[in-house]
């Protein structure tokens, strides 16, 4: 079995996020094929160690990987996000919001990551991305082999049922996200300021929006009908009581694990187009897509008034996750990768 060094700059104790989930599950899949060693900020092999493959997770780990690259048989880079593009998007939305300091920071980060990407593409034999959309986006800039390793999630066993909506209970929407990430912060305020007032007029019954994740309590402006739960050690209770998940993002990159997670929990999802970017989900079959406040509110109201629609979307989305975005799907892809 060939030796692979998995290099990640993620420190211990970070709030649980999509990148941590991706890192864990790809690492598990690689262990099926390679004898895996780890290099992290806390622990790394001696600098003169040689490996058949050095697999670097994100550009942030390049410095940590540098001592091992020259002796490596092959060098692989995992870009779960095209960070130069993501920061350009953040700059645009922050500037539109009047957040000039955030916009200038994002512009500087976009330029920095673009230079890092250009340099990195010359050092690696293979670059992984998380979607076919990202592969096409990078194809003109990256002349080395490009492969898709999709973001995946763990399936729930047995597959969960949607909770029954009773007359005395509100319909529960769930929004999960790390709120120190600007696209989530912006998505929260866009939904609450633009969508929520329209939804209050459209909704045929009582509803509540539960917002959870690092930074979601104590930092966000409160709104009527919104419950700021904060960071939770386990998302299970959130999904068990949710009737639908919302993803009101207007910027971002990669693919949103929050959508795949909701799919795996059997919860219907309404998202913006950019929120669902890169996920091979069909609108109105697997997911509801809406980009204006009025359309987003109408989709939410439709889920409240038509529980059969929610069940149909959830069932279709769960099948999609099982086939294309599960751990077993990722392991099949990794097992079939060529060695070169």
Cβ count within 10 A of residue 29: 21
| Per-residue confidence (pLDDT) for residue 157, from 0 to 100 | 83
Sequence-distant (≥ 6) Cβ neighbours of residue 204 within 8 angstroms: 301, 304, 305
Its pTM stands at 0.92
| Per-residue confidence (pLDDT) for residue 224, from 0 to 100 | 92
Query: What is d(CA 159, CA 176) in angstroms, rounded to the nearest whole number?
Result: 20
| Per-residue confidence (pLDDT) for residue 17, from 0 to 100 | 67
Sequence-distant (≥ 6) Cβ neighbours of residue 1 within 8 angstroms: 33, 34, 35
| Per-residue confidence (pLDDT) for residue 12, from 0 to 100 | 55
Low-confidence ranges of the chain (pLDDT < 50): 13-14
Query: What is d(CA 211, CA 185) in angstroms, rounded to the nearest whole number?
Result: 11
- Over residues 306-323, the pLDDT tens digits come to 999 999 999 999 999 999
| Per-residue confidence (pLDDT) for residue 319, from 0 to 100 | 96
Domains annotated on the chain, with CATH = 3-152+326-335 (3.40.50.2000), 171-324 (3.40.50.2000)
């Amino acid at each position: 079995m060939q030796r692979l060094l998995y290099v990640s700059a993620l420190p211990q104790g970070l709030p649980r996020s999509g990148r941590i989930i991706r890192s864990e599950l790809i690492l598990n899949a690689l262990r099926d094929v390679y004898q895996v060693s780890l290099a992290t900020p806390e622990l790394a092999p001696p600098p003169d160690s040689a490996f058949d493959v050095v697999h670097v997770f994100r550009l942030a780990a390049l410095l940590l990987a540098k001592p091992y690259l020259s002796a490596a048989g092959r060098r692989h880079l995992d870009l779960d996000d095209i960070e130069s593009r993501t920061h350009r998007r953040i700059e645009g939305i922050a500037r539109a919001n009047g957040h000039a300091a955030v916009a200038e920071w994002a512009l500087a980060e976009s330029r920095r990551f673009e230079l890092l990407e250009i340099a990195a593409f010359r050092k690696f034999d293979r670059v992984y991305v998380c979607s076919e959309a990202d592969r096409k986006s990078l194809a003109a800039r990256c002349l080395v082999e490009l492969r898709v390793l999709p973001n995946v999630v763990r399936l729930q066993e047995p597959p969960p049922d949607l909770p029954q909506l009773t007359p005395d209970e509100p319909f529960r929407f769930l929004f999960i996200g790390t709120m120190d990430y600007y696209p989530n912060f912006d998505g929260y305020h866009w939904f609450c300021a633009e969508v929520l007032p329209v939804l209050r007029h459209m909704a045929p019954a009582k509803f509540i929006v539960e917002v959870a994740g690092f930074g979601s309590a104590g930092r966000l402006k409160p709104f009527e009908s919104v419950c700021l739960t904060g960071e939770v050690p386990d998302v299970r209770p959130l999904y068990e009581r949710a009737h639908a998940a919302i993803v009101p993002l207007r910027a971002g990159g990669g693919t949103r694990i929050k959508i795949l997670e909701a799919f795996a929990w059997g919860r219907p999802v309404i998202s913006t187009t950019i929120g669902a970017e890169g996920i091979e989900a069909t609108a109105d079959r697997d997911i509801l897509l809406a980009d204006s406040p009025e359309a987003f509110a109408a989709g939410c109201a439709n889920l409240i008034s038509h529980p059969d629609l929610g069940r149909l979307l959830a069932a279709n989305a769960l099948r999609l996750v099982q086939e294309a975005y599960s751990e077993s799907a990722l392991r099949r892809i990794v097992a079939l990768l060529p060695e070169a």
